[in-house]
Structure 1
Amino acid sequence: MQSGLLAGWLPWALLSAAFAALTAIFAKVGVEDINSDFATLIRTLVILGVVAVLVAATGQWQAPNSVSTRTYTFLVLSGLATGASWLCYFRALKLGDAARVAPIDKLSIVLVAVSGVVFLGEKLAALNWLGVALIAAGALLIAYKS
């Protein structure tokens, strides 16, 4: 178990947000002169290579038969959803402004909150729902082009 600055979920979530922001900016420039689907393929190959090196270097490899069928099923579904999301995201970046595309993409936060409550039985307080509503409103206001 980790201790120190990176022990909890919040630092990792903040790093995720920072890298997601860089992703949008780098991808917007990267798709200028290339087909968005091919750009997604390049991005996916880079991610595959980086994660493979990370798993190998840190000794986190697991025997494939140590993973349950249920886990494989949901990871495959997650991978399919990720691939579809990336293809759509890169297409949107190719066609629109990064400053407008990224906030709409982040409406996924709203969808995760609702899905977590409906499908996973998670509980959100009234203040949490206010935050969800503000995120939705903020994303739409940022994306609005006057």
Structure 2
Amino acid sequence: MSTDLLNSWTFWALLSALFAALTAICAKVGVAEVNPDFATLLRTAVVLLSLALLLRLTGQYQALASISAKSYLFLLLSGLATGASWLCYFRALKLGPASLVAPVDKLSVVLVALLGVSLLGERLELRQWCGIGLVGAGVALLAWR
């Protein structure tokens, strides 16, 4: 694998999408006979153990004192948001079809774009806004009864 590919955000984003799709399908099957909150706990434990092993094998641990208070705060907030998202996601998967739950969950794409522009000062071109609009329209179409 070339270093260009490994340093490409697009490559990693596509892999993320693939794994997110697998997450939805596996979670839908896994949550069928399990309380969705407990299923979230089990999934979180697997993520925690997997990341600890990855960091150990690759030597990527970082001294906790090297992390700024601002980074700690925002990583804590991100973790809380992730936990809330996963709890809601698993509950939605328990109640609805994965083929609809996962796409509606991707409304986060639209929200990230809006928040990125308004809070982080990011700039999007017309073409990108059109794409974001199409994602939003697709979610609305899926959710519309």
TM-score (norm 2): 0.96
Q: What is the deviation of 1:141? A: 2.0
Stretches of structure 2 that go unaligned for 5 or more consecutive residues are: none
For 1:107 and 1:48, locate their aligned partners in 2 and report how far apart those are by CA, in whole Å.
26
TM-score (norm 1): 0.95
For 1:58 and 1:45, locate their aligned partners in 2 and report how far apart those are by CA, in whole Å.
20
Deviations 1:40-62 (A, max 9, x none): 00000000000000011100011
Query: Percent identity, aligned pairs only?
Result: 61
Question: RMSD of aligned C-alpha atoms?
Answer: 1.2
Q: What is the deviation of 1:128? A: 1.0
Secondary structure (helix, strand or coil) at the match of 2:4 reads coil
Residues 51 and 115 of structure 1: CA distance in aligned 2, closer, same or farther (over 3 Å):
same
Secondary structure (helix, strand or coil) at the match of 2:29 reads helix
Matched pairs, number: 144
Q: What is the deviation of 1:144? A: 4.0
8 Å CA contact 1:100, 1:144 repeated in 2: no
Deviations 1:88-145 (A, max 9, x none): 0000000000011001100000000000000000001111111111001112223445
For 2:46 and 2:27, locate their aligned partners in 1 and report how far apart those are by CA, in whole Å.
13
Deviations 1:12-57 (A, max 9, x none): 0000000000000000000000100000000000000000000111
Stretches of structure 1 that go unaligned for 5 or more consecutive residues are: none
For 2:22 and 2:125, locate their aligned partners in 1 and report how far apart those are by CA, in whole Å.
32
